[in-house]
Amino acid sequence: MTTHTFDIVVLGGGSGGYAAALRASELGKSVALIEKDKVGGTCLHRGCIPTKALLHAAEVAEHVRDAAHVGITATLEGIDPVGVRAYREGIVAKKFKGLEGLVKARGITTVAGMGRLNPDRSVSVGDDVYVGSDVILATGSYSRTLPGLDIGGRILTSEQALSLDVIPERVLILGGGVIGVEFASVWRSFGAEVTIIEALPHLVPNEDVVLSKGLERAFRRRGIQYSLGIRFASAVQDDTSVTVTLEDGKEFTADYLLVAVGRGPVTADLGFEEAGVALDRGFVTVDQDLRTGVPGIWAVGDIVPGLQLAHRGFQQGIAVAERIAGLSPVTIPDSQIPKVTYSSPEVASVGLSEESAVAAHGADAVVSYEYNLAGNGKSEIIGTGGLVKVVRLKDGPVLGVHLLGDRVGELITEGQLAVVWEAHPEDIAPLIHAHPTQSEALGEAFLALAGKPLHAL
């Protein structure tokens, strides 16, 4: 057994883990980054990046189909799934190589292997032991399934879906959240018949209901089918198909079933509880500064209760590294972290929904405004519908910004600034949004809430 000593040992090299390692190294700390697979984790290799590459390929396919609408003669001859996979894997490989180079340049020691936390706060990897003054747990998440629903064959998680070398003719998606909606958008653009099955009353049910309803209308126009408000009962498969039965007896049959019912924390059998780290339903219990109940042990990313977002993991990893170094970074609550669903159209939001704002402040204290993208020149040019919704306190600050439309995810940072800085629409209204851009739609909403609408009544 060989013991290696560092200032910080990071268990898990995904978004939260490698961000913590990079920032800690910048602050002069020696760091060991332990990763069982590849640095970058799920987001880089099996999640955010490869799915966005698929969505771009899907967007290209839609543009070719619609080329005649803008006076371009083009024909979509088909989708080459092997070629799409090569494109996706090329993007991931390039980003991975860059990340590896960055980690190496920062002097971080990368340890390949499965790490396990010991009761004395050290981390074992095979016969080696890594000891740090501080340990950061960042072991990430896995694709959940439902009781009695076994993954395999024609029943897939997002990881298996990415590996398909065929375009399904018919596909069922169990779960209408972010992952399910994104895959539905991709597969429909590639020509598949898609049906989403969501037990709650709306798609993307964690969003403001106006965005959920708008996305449902857009998906209907695209030919994406969905069943809402009825729970899954069972699924059976044979060599050629999968049949899903709902609790009301209704059946759906397709070539494949994608299970997209959320992600669970990877914390089992890693020694956490034996080391005194408290778990709640598998998630690590932490305080507002991401400290566990064991001195010197911290947790970040998907194993911490709350939004499971790569950029949340980045922010948490950076914050913990700075706290270990004696700095006092600002704590960003989940409500102030931007969320984006990268479908067509996109859904983006930050802050409180109107329903949440009313619950917190009362109906008489909350005002909202919706601006339709039909009035936005750039949105008309790129052929997207949608809306901007801004929620504010009456005579007070912006509480939430909610967007629907292609490419609107690029606008949500302005919404975050407005919410976090508690800006009043009257503060933002004098600022100029370049013309013609989609950002003008946000400007129009702020103008309207400030009492001086321009391109709206």
Left if phi > 0, otherwise alpha if psi is -120 to 50, otherwise beta: which for 262?
Answer: left
User: Could you give the CA distance from residue 351 to residue 422 in angstroms, rounded to a whole number?
Assistant: 11
Neighbouring C-beta atoms of residue 12, cutoff 10 Å = 32
User: Could you give the CA distance from residue 332 to residue 329 in angstroms, rounded to a whole number?
Assistant: 9
Structure tokens at 344: 């067509």
Helix H, strand E, coil C: the string for 411-446 is HHHHHHHHHHCCCCHHHHCCCCCCCCCCHHHHHHHH
Angle (deg, nearest 10), helices 439-449 and 412-420: 30
Choose the catalytic residue: 56, 433, 435, 455: 435
Asked if 349 and 338 touch (Cβ cutoff 8 Å), the reply is: yes
- Which helix (H) or strand (E) covers residue 57, if one does? helix 48-65
Asked if 231 and 199 touch (Cβ cutoff 8 Å), the reply is: yes
Whether 435 is catalytic is: yes
Dump strand ranges (E) for 328-397: 339-341, 346-351, 366-372, 387-393
Active site residues: 435
